[in-house]
Structure 1
Amino acid sequence: MIRIVFVLVIVFLLCNCTSYSPELTEALVLSGENRKELLHVLEHYEHDEDTLKYKAACFLIENMRWHKSYKKIEYVDPKISKLYEKFDYLYTKILGGFDEIEALDGNQLLRERLYNYTQVLHDLMKITPLDTNVVVSHGVFEDVNEINASFLISHIDNAFKVWRESKYAKHLNFDAFCEYILPYRSFWGTTYYYSGAWLNKQFGKQIWRGNTPDFLGHLKRCNHYANRMLFFSYPFKLKERIGIYDLFLGTKNDCALLADNFCNIFRSCGFPVTVDYTIAYKAYNSRHFYCNFLDSTGMWWRFNPGSNMLSKTSPVGHTSLNLYRNMFAAQKDSPYFLKAKTEKIPGELASPCIKDVTAEQCEIVELILPFTSETKNNLAYLCTFSGDFKSGVIAVTWGTIDKKNKQVVFKSALHNTLYVPMYMKNGHLCPFGQPFYVLKDSLGKSGYRLCHLCDEANVEDTGDLLLTRKFPLKSHLMEEIKHMVGGHFEGANHEDFSDAKVLFTITETPKPYWQEYVLNNCREYLYYRYVAPESYPLANIAELEFLVRGDTTHPYTSSATPLPVFKEEDISSLQNDHWVQVMEKDISSMRNKVYFDKNIMTTSWRRLNPICLAKPFLVERIRMIPRNADNGIRPGDRYLLLYWDNEWKEFGVQKAKYNFLKFENVPQNKIYWLQNIDRGSEDLPFIYEDGRQKFIYDSVIVDNNVQIR
């Protein structure tokens, strides 16, 4: 508190003896020992004939206080930059004479040349491993204390140069320039190291190569360059992420890193680009960052870095929740500024520079909810399920509390979305209402109606739950399985299958779990295989077993996978299973094939190679499971059942014996959540009605635009 008062006093005194704005003065005070660097920038541009440069410097310095990094790059081994320079020279030389954009993917000679050089580089890097040194400090590093004058001046000069020269930036007014070209970082919390001037020097010659007619062409050039440079450097990888070099030497380029680097690169070359993101999806525990390009008509074009696709719609589709844009300037309508003085904000919404842009992509609804809780807070939140968080919920949008009318107004709610209304209490999210979703209602006064999922009238009831899945079946996998109709299994004694005989043809869509086919076979064969339909020549088989009788004399066998049991009365059927899986002589080699590796998550998309037995043998049955997300109940795995009662409460853990779980005396009329605590990450809440599970975004909240994928 004393520090805050001291800062305010200093700001007041400085404002009265300088021409600086209060925001700029406060930034200078907060900069501490780095103040002289920032003052040098202001003095450098104060009398510049281009008065906008001074305004731009003020814009950056005023808003630096809102930005920070969680890593600081102290040192990068010069060998890394020299390696990059060699690769860059090689790439530029190889592309000599191939300046047309169509040549990047369509020219056979160019592809061969790139491939040959890449193989030579890989061989050289394997025999001459690099010993590079990167020093990175971890902590919280405020931009206002870190950025020096030379960095900022070179960056500002480059930004103005490309603003004036680039045909993609000339139409921008000063305010748009400040947000979409000028910033040295693309979003809050990332690590910066190189100025726009350096980035332009390194990437500009590649992005602007040849006669490229539109932004999509420049995107293709950038992607081609980054991808080939990455292939050149393989198998060398950096142990620490250090910014732009991660594109070429990184350990793993996730969407945030790619979006950050691509945005900074394009801005440095005169393309107005931003980074948007979603912090949650309706059905998945994930987030996603992507880029946007602003054209001269004011239209935003979205793209995933690494992809050569531009679209007016968001890459995250209709399954995402609220979308946010990373701005450089502080956004006064963000939770950071709307909160009360001592109010805590959920971390995912804590940035002072986020702007809700959901309305650009989705139909939103202004939602008014009653609020009777006693609090000094100004904000409440709509939260949704997230298995990534210990609490099991994540705040996805905010609303302002109207204490006079005892209500909360949410301006950016979405239809067909599971919400829990919550506010922060003692540093944690606390509910002030029951879970619900919003349905359109054209006849209602507000245009919507709320559908609650918990029946409070019967909170004392208990009952049994018979559970067979932790996540619903995926629509695209079910469509893939349909294409297996017409596929068949063959036996042969010649390796080329010239004497093949069809033993079974799939005539009905396979089930999304283990199943058995009885073959029309009375002969012994040395080779067996599956052949996909000609109309859709992909196998789509996750696991495959060729079965013989349990009393076989064949020397190479393995236990057959039991057929699934989904209810208690079918348990006895397991006692009649007297079949074993026949194997190749080299069992370990056979296990290396994805359809024999005992891993349902690995799938053969291509035609399956045949199984070759040690000697001809009579195979009478086949067990198979098609391409699968493995979200059913797995015998041997442990499962945790939770239910929602103002928070996620644990009911109990069971180890599955079969393909179902039976939990007894469970509180009824709740939302449930089943976790596999041994493997997997996909799970989704459900309700239990009519003796079966009904997953939230599959059988409860039905939105034709949302498919479980």
Structure 2
Amino acid sequence: MVKFFFFIISVFIISTVVCCSSNKRLEEALTMAGDNRLELEKVLEYYKDSGLKYDAARFLIENMPGCIMVDSTFLENYQPVYRDYDSVIRTFNDDYNRFRDALGAVSYLSRKKRSTIMITYWRDINKLKSNQIIDEINLAFKAWKENIYTQNCSFKDFCEYILPYRRAQGLLIDTIRSHFYNLHHESFFKDRKRGLQLEADSLLYLYRDIKYEYEMDIPMYDPKMLEKFKYCICDHRCWFNSLLFSSLGMAVAIDFVPCWGNWSGSHTWNVLINEGDSYAFEPFWDEDRWKYKQIYNNIAIDSVWGGVRLPRVFRKTYANYYEDILLDNEISLSDIPELFRDYKKKDVSKEYFETTDIVIRLDDVPKNAKYCFLCVWDSPGWKPVQWGKIRFDRVTFKDMGRDIVYLPAYYSNGSLIPAGDPLLLKQDGSIRRITVGQGHERVTLRRVNGKVFYQNNNWKYIKSLDKMRFWGIKEEKSELLCQTTVDMVQAYQQWQVKCTTANRYVRIQLPTELFAMGSLDFYTSNGKIADYEITTFIEAEQKEEKVAFLLDQCGATTYSAHVPDKYVDIDLGQEYHLTAIGITPYCESSLKKGSTFTLKYWQDGGWHPVSSKMGNDSFLIFEEVPRNALLLLQRDKCDQYATKKNERIFTYKNGEIEWY
């Protein structure tokens, strides 16, 4: 119902507003107000001699088309669900596991209740009263001039990031910003000596008890609900923070990635704007909240998040930004993906990472196709993240994030039609088409996705490799070969050997009593050493694991053991001048018993099965897999472990997986 409503609103607004020149938008907005026009005119009349305040009123009214609020009568009908949730909070306040189980039941009832209630939305422009708008404008100006950080910011930034009363579609419009102002204005953003980030942390600390819960499926329509219920998702907390900071005159925005480039789903976070800089931060309380600009640069490998990749980043706006595709009267809205129907956003990718324009040549362009769309894999399908206008047989996709696999596609009436081979936009900005090569190979797998930090035990395994020391042992003397610094990413990693002398024996000094790897390789200038022997007596923790798995050139076959003495000795067979040491981290299998897994490869615009196998809690071997192909391991039957489908695409070469 909500998506259908937004679609109808989009059709109406675009047909009546987009085609207007900017000097007519105010009149068009007043016309759209219908019976509420008088209320908006009262606002303009009130500020007619007030300079910037009049301009601010115009900004709000001109951009009010597209803003909607939920009908409060819906909340009255929904009270039984809220009471059930409130009971869960009180009953299981000290037992999170039981709370999660109970929350699942309430969320189910919530979805069931919503299916029986007609949710009514109203357009702000038809409902807001003059006194509400005037109060918001006056408070925004007062807070703006009292804030030591933003009092000299441009009027444009004020209108975009401080003034707007609406921070998300559907929210109730009440006096919450006045409430936040009265609570906090005397204590925050008065003294530059404290520093912007420290002040922001101090304010957010007051609301640290509002925590993230991805299973939360209870409608939230105002900040008071969040303060009462204490759990919410990122979207909710972002508009809560945005209202909180703007009420104190801080320029604040909400940024989002519509879907990750190497993980399924989307994410939303907050940004403070100050003196031309933007400070992105985690919306929920976190001891290390200000690192988004570092971990979202499409290069970094973070110790917690791993190597996240973003195709594009958008900023939610109150102002209307109409892209050319929306201004084109020759294309139906049903042929525009949902992301690009949203005209209250703007691209801010370049604030986070270096971008590349992707130019491709299209074969056999459909007769009526005017646009092509660039997609990323967002399990269980491809999702558009950029559009380009087709000129003859070529299309350009502007400002794309690197180290990501994309698929060009046409879009017609809600369906994607592949327009070419998948493309890997590499870290250096070059592009490689991913096409099936000649011949076949064996592929060994132990999981369906590339990100593993959600599995708690994998923290233990990867951390067991950090600060591991390799010593060359010769005539009772030892020399340090290298020391590992392991990134939190499940991928093959290599370290250069600093020692220039030849060694036959190597001692591995372990940081913990755990010895766990997928592969362990020693290199010379002539390549990888074919064989070596572990001379320390150790016994595998899993009976199916073998030491030989470390040498089989396959990271998916693993070996783990408990080593109380915290060292392992290696005999290389003869003396070698080692140049590098490589390791694939150990990872628990996600190929659980009770599920069937099908390996597929991409060719000619679709997925084709190789074969299917039953999960075994270890690894699976697939034969006769086309070389160089884009691959996907899909779970055909979801078990309790797989409540969310997060299968990722990947390529396979020399026994190692490159996840995307």
Place the TM-score, normalised by the shorter chain, in its bin.
0.5 to 0.7
C-alpha separation in 1, matches of 2:328 and 2:12:
23
Look up the match of 2:253: 274
Residue 685 (structure 1) aligned to one of 630, 639, 649: 649
Look up the match of 2:240: 261
C-alpha separation in 1, matches of 2:26 and 2:199:
37
- Please identify, of 311-320 and 140-149, the stretch whose mean Cα deviation from structure 2 is larger: 311-320
1:427 maps to 2:391? no
Look up the match of 1:468: 446
Q: Per the alignment, in what secondary structure is the counterpart of residue 404 of structure 2? A: coil
Shift of 1:693: 5.8
1:303 maps to 2:281? yes
Residue 179 (structure 1) aligned to one of 160, 165, 169: 160
Q: Would the alpha carbon gap of residues 20 and 666 (structure 1) be closer, same or farther in structure 2, given more than 3 Å must change?
A: closer
1:358-507 matched pairs, under 5 angstroms: 358-371=349-362, 372-387=364-379, 390=380, 392-402=381-391, 405-439=392-426, 449-455=430-436, 465-472=443-450, 477=459, 479-482=462-465
1:166-223 C-alpha deviation (Å, 9 max, x unpaired)? 2222222222211011111234565554453343224434545899733223212211
Tell me, yes or no, if the aligned pair for 1:212 and 1:218 is still in contact at 8 Å. no
Residue 197 (structure 1) aligned to one of 154, 162, 178: 178
1:219-257 C-alpha deviation (Å, 9 max, x unpaired)? 1221121126x59xxxxx995423212442235222221
Residue 227 (structure 1) aligned to one of 208, 215, 219: 208
Structure 1: gaps of 5 or more residues: 80-118, 124-133, 232-236, 442-447, 487-507, 514-533, 542-559, 569-626, 698-709
Residue 326 (structure 2) aligned to one of 332, 336, 356: 336
Shift of 1:272: 0.9
Q: Would the alpha carbon gap of residues 353 and 220 (structure 1) be closer, same or farther in structure 2, given more than 3 Å must change?
A: same
Look up the match of 2:46: 44
C-alpha separation in 2, matches of 1:426 and 1:241:
31
Q: Would the alpha carbon gap of residues 214 and 462 (structure 1) be closer, same or farther in structure 2, given more than 3 Å must change?
A: closer
Tell me, yes or no, if the aligned pair for 1:334 and 1:355 is still in contact at 8 Å. no
1:331-353 C-alpha deviation (Å, 9 max, x unpaired)? 13365346744142222333102
| TM-score (structure 1 length as normaliser) | 0.60
Tell me, yes or no, if the aligned pair for 2:408 and 2:421 is still in contact at 8 Å. yes
C-alpha separation in 2, matches of 1:333 and 1:207:
38
Q: Would the alpha carbon gap of residues 675 and 6 (structure 1) be closer, same or farther in structure 2, given more than 3 Å must change?
A: closer
Q: Would the alpha carbon gap of residues 634 and 262 (structure 1) be closer, same or farther in structure 2, given more than 3 Å must change?
A: same
Look up the match of 2:544: 563
Tell me, yes or no, if the aligned pair for 1:484 and 1:539 is still in contact at 8 Å. no
Residue 643 (structure 1) aligned to one of 590, 594, 601: 601
Shift of 1:653: 4.6
C-alpha separation in 1, matches of 2:10 and 2:270:
37
Q: Per the alignment, in what secondary structure is the counterpart of residue 138 of structure 1? A: coil
Shift of 1:52: 2.0
Q: Would the alpha carbon gap of residues 340 and 257 (structure 1) be closer, same or farther in structure 2, given more than 3 Å must change?
A: farther
Q: Which amino acid in structure 2 is aligned with residue 294 of structure 1?
A: I
Residue 656 (structure 1) aligned to one of 615, 633, 641: 615
Look up the match of 1:32: 34
Q: Would the alpha carbon gap of residues 655 and 410 (structure 1) be closer, same or farther in structure 2, given more than 3 Å must change?
A: same
C-alpha separation in 1, matches of 2:184 and 2:396:
46
C-alpha separation in 2, matches of 1:171 and 1:347:
37
Structure 1 or 2, whichever has the larger Rg, is: 1
Q: Which amino acid in structure 2 is aligned with residue 397 of structure 1?
A: Q
C-alpha separation in 2, matches of 1:648 and 1:376:
26
Shift of 1:466: 4.5
C-alpha separation in 1, matches of 2:191 and 2:430:
56
C-alpha separation in 2, matches of 1:342 and 1:69:
26
1:520-539 matched pairs, under 5 angstroms: none
Look up the match of 1:150: 131
Q: Would the alpha carbon gap of residues 276 and 76 (structure 1) be closer, same or farther in structure 2, given more than 3 Å must change?
A: same
Q: Would the alpha carbon gap of residues 640 and 71 (structure 1) be closer, same or farther in structure 2, given more than 3 Å must change?
A: farther
1:524-583 C-alpha deviation (Å, 9 max, x unpaired)? xxxxxxxxxx99689999xxxxxxxxxxxxxxxxxx975359999xxxxxxxxxxxxxxx
Q: Per the alignment, in what secondary structure is the counterpart of residue 25 of structure 1? A: helix
C-alpha separation in 2, matches of 1:140 and 1:256:
19
1:490-524 C-alpha deviation (Å, 9 max, x unpaired)? xxxxxxxxxxxxxxxxxx99xx99xxxxxxxxxxx
Shift of 1:427: 2.3
C-alpha separation in 1, matches of 2:416 and 2:50:
50
1:340-394 C-alpha deviation (Å, 9 max, x unpaired)? 441422223331022111112211112221235125454322111111xx4x111
Residue 326 (structure 1) aligned to one of 278, 295, 316: 316
C-alpha separation in 2, matches of 1:353 and 1:6:
15
1:634-678 C-alpha deviation (Å, 9 max, x unpaired)? 333322433323134566653224633355666665322113332
C-alpha separation in 1, matches of 2:596 and 2:31:
56
Tell me, yes or no, if the aligned pair for 2:632 and 2:648 is still in contact at 8 Å. yes
Tell me, yes or no, if the aligned pair for 1:188 and 1:353 is still in contact at 8 Å. no
Q: Which amino acid in structure 2 is aligned with residue 63 of structure 1?
A: N
C-alpha separation in 2, matches of 1:291 and 1:150:
29
Q: Would the alpha carbon gap of residues 647 and 375 (structure 1) be closer, same or farther in structure 2, given more than 3 Å must change?
A: same
Q: Which amino acid in structure 2 is aligned with residue 482 of structure 1?
A: L
Shift of 1:419: 0.8
Q: Would the alpha carbon gap of residues 186 and 652 (structure 1) be closer, same or farther in structure 2, given more than 3 Å must change?
A: farther
Look up the match of 2:273: 294
Look up the match of 1:250: 229
Look up the match of 1:56: 56
Q: Per the alignment, in what secondary structure is the counterpart of residue 64 of structure 1? A: coil
Q: Would the alpha carbon gap of residues 208 and 8 (structure 1) be closer, same or farther in structure 2, given more than 3 Å must change?
A: closer
Q: Which amino acid in structure 2 is aligned with residue 481 of structure 1?
A: S
Look up the match of 1:581: none
Aligned CA-pair RMSD: 4.8
Look up the match of 1:517: none
Aligned length: 501
1:148-172 C-alpha deviation (Å, 9 max, x unpaired)? 3222111111111122332222222
C-alpha separation in 2, matches of 1:243 and 1:212:
33
Shift of 1:59: 1.1
Q: Per the alignment, in what secondary structure is the counterpart of residue 28 of structure 1? A: helix
1:294-337 C-alpha deviation (Å, 9 max, x unpaired)? 223x1222212224644582664522221111121111336534
1:213 maps to 2:194? yes
Q: Which amino acid in structure 1 is aligned with residue 659 of structure 2?
A: I
Tell me, yes or no, if the aligned pair for 1:303 and 1:311 is still in contact at 8 Å. yes
Look up the match of 1:347: 338
1:582-634 C-alpha deviation (Å, 9 max, x unpaired)? xxxxxxxxxxxxxxxxxxxxxxxxxxxxxxxxxxxxxxxxxxxxx98644423
Tell me, yes or no, if the aligned pair for 2:464 and 2:512 is still in contact at 8 Å. no
Q: Would the alpha carbon gap of residues 294 and 4 (structure 1) be closer, same or farther in structure 2, given more than 3 Å must change?
A: closer
Structure 2: gaps of 5 or more residues: 1-8, 80-89, 95-112, 299-308, 470-483, 491-508, 517-540, 550-584
- Please identify, of 304-313 and 216-225, the stretch whose mean Cα deviation from structure 2 is larger: 304-313
| TM-score (structure 2 length as normaliser) | 0.64
